[in-house]
Amino acid sequence: MRPLLFVFLVLMISLTGCTEQRDEKIIRVGYVSGPTVLLHSAAEEFAERVAQRSDGDLRVRLYPSGQLGDDRETVEGLKLRSIDMTVMGCAFIGWYAPEYGMTEAPFVWRDYQHIDRVWRGEIGEELRQTLRERAGVEMRHLWYRGPRYLTTTSKKIYSPEDLRGLKLRVPELEVYIKSWQTFGANTTPLPFTDMFMALKLGVVEGQENPLATIYGNNLHEVQKYIMETHHLIGFYVFCTGPHFDERFTEREREIILEAAQFATYWHNREVERSEAEYRRVLTDAGVEFVPVDREAFLKLAKEKIPGQFEKTWKPGLYRRILETP
């Protein structure tokens, strides 16, 4: 009887373990940023907070570095339920709501306070409702990215005239393409996941991103100069998919959204604190920071860019954003 009893106990333990595994809900979070980027650290804070507050009943599984696809595929994953949430750049706004494409226009934002006031106001609610209806994406929180800088492999850029002919990687978004063409660059739209190799092989000679992205994705290994353009104060958007409400109970949603708010605060505080640190480590790595004639870029942006999107951007919205106090 003892061998049979032993087999019975082992079987019961195995079944109990399987039941616990079935009861544990896995929250799948995918994004293109790599594991060395601050965004990933904030995602880890989110995961830890969820596990603690749910006593382990909810577990977050992170998929950095585009493991589940680029941003386009990630949005599709939200709709197809292959992932539950993501943190991504604003390119998807241009894909699904091109009339709001000025959110990624250079020199449209003054500072983070300006962004927050627009986001929490009438314009922000209009945008969230539009994305909800067209893409099934719920835009929950903004994660600051730091100002964007232009970088190049071997050429210093001081003014728009210096950009002429430069092969510049830009996101696959019309506002980026036309804006940098306006400044004089020869634009090459590429997914983020293809950018490092394109820079390394000389397919493109430059790109533009915040310092955290430049350092976190080792772009300084293939870029020599960082131009202090500060042309866009960008942000990521923490998003959930259309099945969020039905997949999780009210209590689970409360835990997840509180953890998301906590991670948002943690991330944004660290972004503001770490800008000087990124500048230091990039300088130590041999990258040179180059001052530019920002007024020359700003003048071109204000004069030339809005008119190129008269048939696309929502009438008056560019002006409404600029005039938001």
The confidence band for 272, taking pLDDT boundaries of 50, 70 and 90, is confident
Q: Where are the alpha helices (DSSP H) in 24-56?
A: 38-53
* Sole residue written with tokens 């533009």: 208
Distance CA 274, CA 104 (A): 23
pLDDT at 20: 38
Name, in order, each residue with C-beta under 8 angstroms of 154's C-beta and a sequence gap of 6 or more.
Answer: 205, 224, 225
Helices of type H across the chain:
2-23, 38-53, 71-80, 91-96, 112-120, 122-135, 174-183, 192-201, 211-216, 244-247, 250-284, 294-308, 317-323
Confidence of residue 134 (pLDDT cuts 50, 70, 90): very high
- Is 304 within 8 Å of 182 (Cβ atoms)? yes
pLDDT band at 23 (very low <50, low <70, confident <90, very high): low
d(CA 199, CA 239): 30
Contact 118, 110 (CB under 8 A): no
Q: How far apart are the first and last CA of the chain?
A: 81
Q: How does pLDDT run across 45-81, given as a tens digit for each residue? A: 999 999 999 999 999 999 999 999 988 899 999 999 9
Q: What is the torsional sign of CA 10, 15, 20, 24?
A: positive
Sketch out the chain's domains with CATH numbers.
Answer: 16-323 (3.40.190.170)
Q: What is the CA radius of gyration of the chain?
A: 22
pLDDT of residue 193: 86
SS3 assignment, position 87:
strand
Which tokens belong to 84? 């539950």
Mean predicted confidence (pLDDT) in 238-261: 97
Strands 225-227 and 138-152: antiparallel
Q: In this predicted structure, what is the pLDDT of residue 2? A: 44
Q: What is the mean pLDDT of residues 162-187?
A: 94
Q: Which two tokens stand for residue 24?
A: 């544990």
Q: Considering the chain, what is the average pLDDT of its residues?
A: 90
Query: What does the angle CA 32 – CA 113 – CA 294 come to, to the nearest 5 degrees?
Result: 75
* Lookup: tokens for 4: 């049979």
Q: CA-to-CA distance for 296 and 186, rounded, in angstroms? A: 18
Closest Cα partner for 38 from 170, 228, 235, 230?
235
In terms of Cβ atoms closer than 10 Å to its own Cβ (0-12, 13-18, 19+), residue 14 is exposed
Q: Does 15 score more than 70 pLDDT?
A: no
Residue with tokens 């071997």, as numbered in its chain: 154
Beta-bridged to residue 149, according to DSSP, are: 209
Instruction: Give the span between the Cα atoms of 320 and 325, in whole angstroms.
Output: 10
Task: Return all residues near 303 (Cβ < 8 A) that are at least 6 apart.
Answer: none
pTM for the structure as a whole = 0.76
Q: Using alpha carbons, select from 86, 88, 113, 108 the residue that is nearest to residue 175.
A: 108
* pLDDT above 60: residue 8: no
